[in-house]
Amino acid sequence: MPQTGYIPPFSVSAEILRLVGDISELVGRLDVSVNQSRIPQLRKENRIKTIQSSLAIENNSMSLEQVTAIVEGKRVLGPPNEITEVKNAIDAYNLMLELNPYKAKDLLRAHGLMMAGLVDECGRFRNGGVGVTDGVHVVHIAPPAMRVPQLIAELIDWVKHTDTHPLVSSCVFHYEFEFIHPFADGNGRMGRMWQTLLLMQWRPLFAWLPVETIVKENQQEYYRVISLCDSKGESTAFIEFMLRCLYDALTEMEKSNQKSNQKSNQKILNLIIANPAISMREMQEETGLSESGVKKVIRQLREAGLLVREGGAKGGHWKVTK
């Protein structure tokens, strides 16, 4: 479908092109190297990091341990509104796989969950004017409330039909969403969540990428770049910033995956040293890996020259060579 309506202003810099290439390469490596047996645990850990970091950007003081406890249904002591924020975010992120990023009604539905019991206007666009401050000064005056539904509709239409690479268009959406500031509250956490939802349409692994942890570490730069783009009237600097955050988050994921694989490899080697005749099923039981997971580790060890099979498939045994 040809692009119609509003086209957000931005330019594709050399830095953006470089980052898109580097991120695409990282995603490709992760798609084939992620330890399948650890996916459920990784998803849980990364979702907790996402929620804790995104809320911390909004001055929620809940620690990673407290958020983990809430996710696990345990009682936690803390400010009631902050506990509510965590529970709401859990509900909203649990809905992500059901949400369509190109439907405004799904955006409102998610906001309704994210801000339930926190603001009166949860699940609907704001009715009044709003400004963004840096604590002292007003740094941004959002468009009038009466324009919000149309502006969001145009932005969604653009991101749905644009030929721009998803890595770039999702960043553009994020910035434009914050500029429109469609809700009375919760715009930051919703903008970050919706960028993730958009990226999921390109590569599913983004559903579990805790990029918010990197944004939190660079929070002042996040706000500075948004202000810079406001003054310039285009989002190029914000795109560069968010792509760097995505690259850093993917790099951390790759390092974590490599450590996990190394632990699995060493555990298999130790089992074989203790019992060279150990069976595939016994290795599965000892490691918690699936059959395909054990076979993948065995293949890696054999390709690395660390393991050989002596004798036939039946009656033979493994030998660690180094």
pLDDT in the model for residue 139: 65
CB distance 180 to 155 below 8 Å: yes
Q: What integer is the mean pLDDT of 248-266?
A: 82
- pLDDT confidence band for 102 (50 / 70 / 90): very high
CB distance 90 to 51 below 8 Å: yes
pLDDT in the model for residue 2: 43
Tens of pLDDT, residue by residue over 212-247, are 999 999 999 998 999 899 999 999 999 999 999 999
pLDDT over 70 (residue 35) = no
User: How much is the mean pLDDT over the chain?
Assistant: 89
Q: What whole-number distance in Å separates Cα of residue 245 and Cα of residue 167?
A: 12
Q: What whole-number distance in Å separates Cα of residue 189 and Cα of residue 125?
A: 15
Angle at 60 between CA 56 and CA 64, to 5 degrees: 65
Q: What CATH number labels 14-256?
A: 1.10.3290.10
Non-local (6+) Cβ contacts of 315 within 8 A are none
What are the phi and psi torsion angles at 41 (to 5°)? -70, -40
The boundaries of every CATH 1.10.10 domain in the chain are: 275-320
pLDDT in the model for residue 173: 98
DSSP code of residue 208: G
Percent of all residues in the chain with a pLDDT value above 90, rounded to a whole number: 63
Token pair recorded at residue 117: 């019991």
- pLDDT confidence band for 256 (50 / 70 / 90): confident
Taking domain 275-320, whether its CATH number is 1.10.10 is answered by: yes
The boundaries of every CATH 1.10.3290.10 domain in the chain are: 14-256
Tens of pLDDT, residue by residue over 176-219, are 999 999 999 999 999 999 999 999 999 998 998 999 999 999 99
